[in-house]
Amino acid sequence: MVQITANMNETPVAITEKVSGPWRDAWRAFRKNKIAMAGLIMILFFILIALLAPVLAPYDYKDQQLADRLKPPSSEHWFGTDDLGRDLFSRVLYGARISLWVGTFSVLGSIVLGTALGILAGFYGKWIDMLISRLFDILLAFPSILLAIAIVAILGPSLQNALYAIAIVNIPTYGRLVRAKVLSLKNEEYITAARAIGMKNSGILLRHILPNSLTPIIVQGTLGIATAIIEAASLGFLGLGAQPPAPEWGKMLSDSRQFIATAPWTVLFPGLCILLTSLGFNLMGDGLRDAFDPKMKNR
């Protein structure tokens, strides 16, 4: 709010200025993208059901009623039951917790480690850059799912080890992204000015390099959660992720694959949840990329 007064006898006139900034401009551009907003709504929906799973679930996800096994969807069991008589609706709700937890924290781990390595490689260069870049090349030489399987096979099948494996295989994605960004930033004039006034490298990295590298990290991280959820479901499907009786969506698909013809609902609802969750993060990630890209603002 800005007040302009011509002289002491005139009443101040209030002029409302629209607050602007890179983050506010990006949010305004994101809100105008209906597809991206649809993705955000889908993500918020799954987050909500994950948080409210104990309230919304009509049954305990571990409760077995063999007399009710493979019952089709009904008013009593909205999504039907599985081969052990467990309520699929309750298991799908609790499965959202597992998938979102694995997807989010595996990506956070990849971002932290990848960003640290990428900044060191891009900023200091020389043998540090060569060593870290070769490490990235080695990790990228293997298909991500095969490398994740190998890591889990070494550590042992469990949900936690699956999270570690997914985080490790995605480190090069964020490391290379940050390294390229740092290489373009470290020769900018404001970095040279910071060195000229005696600022230490740690201060330059934390106050200038890292904040200006956040945009591509945020966009890639959002897209990466969708990939991590699919990878976690793949490991669960192979029996290397969540172990029974954990209601992980991929494991639910694996346990029900023999009933596709006789009880299709046992694979339909977990598969649909994987699809919608991944789709939501992909749509949101595409929207963030367009919102943060200056070239897209004039389109």
pLDDT digits (tens, 9 = 90+) for 178-219: 988 888 887 777 777 877 887 787 777 877 788 878 888 888
Q: Is residue 39 part of a domain?
A: no
pLDDT at 4: 47
Considering the domain boundaries, does residue 238 fall inside one?
yes
Domain-embedded: residue 270: yes
Range of the domain at 161: 45-296
Q: How far is CA 123 from the centre of its chain?
A: 26
Residue 36 domain-assigned? no
| pLDDT of 1 over the 50 cut | no
Q: Beta partners for 14?
A: 3
Please tell me the chain's helix, strand, coil percentages from 3-state DSSP, rounded to the nearest 5: 70, 5, 25
Say if 142 falls within a structural domain. yes
Tell me the C-alpha distance between 289 and 299, whole Å: 14
- Predicted local distance difference test score (pLDDT) of residue 165: 93
State pTM to two decimals.
Answer: 0.82
What CATH number did the domain enclosing 185 receive?
A: 1.10.3720.10
* CA–CA distance, 214 with 222 (Å, rounded to integer): 12
The residue assigned the tokens 């629209």 is 18
Report the pLDDT value the prediction gives residue 22, as an integer from 0 to 100.
Answer: 65
Q: Report whether 43 contacts 36 (CB < 8 A).
A: no
Whether residue 85 lies inside any domain: the answer is yes
pLDDT value of position 126 = 85
Classify residue 5: in a domain, yes or no.
Answer: no
The number of distinct structural domains making up the chain is 1
Give domain status of residue 18, yes or no: no
Q: What is the pLDDT of residues 272-288, one digit of tens each?
A: 999 999 999 999 988 88
**CA-wise closest residue to 116 among 215, 206, 195, 183:** 206
